């Protein structure tokens, strides 16, 4: 039986912005706790011996906790993108925000699954410092017929940018 291991590596970036009226950068911090690893094996056969694998896997709703701090009065935006090596073309990786977190300000969007691509894309926005924002992952496109046995990994980049 094939064994496929998917490892999600999460990397965070600091977001920077420069206001038209300022000659220095204001730093807003983004912090991340958690990761996800899924091992696909014989126990994941959809209908027993001779059947294909379960197609879709989902992490816990609170798999990753995101913190945004050192904000000012300006709203901020979180963008995401992925980087991978030898990632099967049939694999599709998704994420969604499953909590608003706690803190001052507000948070909006990002509560429905969004497929992560290789280019920066809008995920959600908000204002004020927010901690304990939960993120959930989903992997689809898993098939014994099209995916070779092996270990596959993906890195997700989160970038927060504070607007003016």
Going through 34-105 in order, the beta strands assigned E by DSSP cover 36-40, 57-58, 64-69, 76-84, 92-97
Rounded-to-integer distance, Cα 129 and Cα 28, Å: 9
Nearest to 139 by CA among 156, 127, 123: 156
Which residues make Cβ contacts (< 8 Å) with residue 64, sequence separation at least 6? 10, 32, 33, 34, 35, 36, 134, 135, 136, 137
Containing structural domain, residue 105 = 4-19+26-162
Q: What percent helix, strand, coil does the chain show, rounded to 5?
A: 0, 55, 45
**Two structure tokens written together for 72:** 């000012």
pLDDT of 21 above 70: no
Tally the domains of the chain: 1
pLDDT digits (tens, 9 = 90+) for 26-63: 588 999 999 999 988 888 888 888 888 999 999 999 99
Global confidence as pTM = 0.82
Give the mean pLDDT of 131-138: 97
User: Residue 52 has what pLDDT?
Assistant: 87
């Amino acid at each position: 039986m094939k064994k496929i291991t998917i490892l999600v590596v999460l990397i965070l970036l600091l977001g920077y912005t420069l206001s038209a009226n300022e000659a220095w950068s204001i730093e807003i911090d983004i912090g991340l706790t958690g990761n996800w690893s899924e091992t696909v094996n014989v126990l994941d056969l959809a209908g027993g011996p001779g059947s294909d694998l379960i197609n879709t896997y989902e992490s816990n709703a609170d798999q990753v906790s995101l913190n945004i701090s050192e904000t000012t009065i300006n709203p901020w935006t979180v963008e995401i993108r992925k980087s991978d090596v030898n990632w099967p073309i049939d694999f599709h990786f998704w994420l969604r925000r499953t909590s608003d977190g706690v803190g001052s300000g507000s948070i909006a969007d990002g509560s429905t699954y969004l497929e992560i691509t290789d280019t920066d894309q809008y995920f959600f926005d908000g204002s004020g410092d927010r901690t304990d924002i939960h993120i959930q992952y989903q992997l689809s496109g898993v098939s014994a017929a099209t995916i070779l046995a092996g270990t596959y990994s993906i890195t997700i980049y989160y970038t927060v940018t504070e607007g003016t």
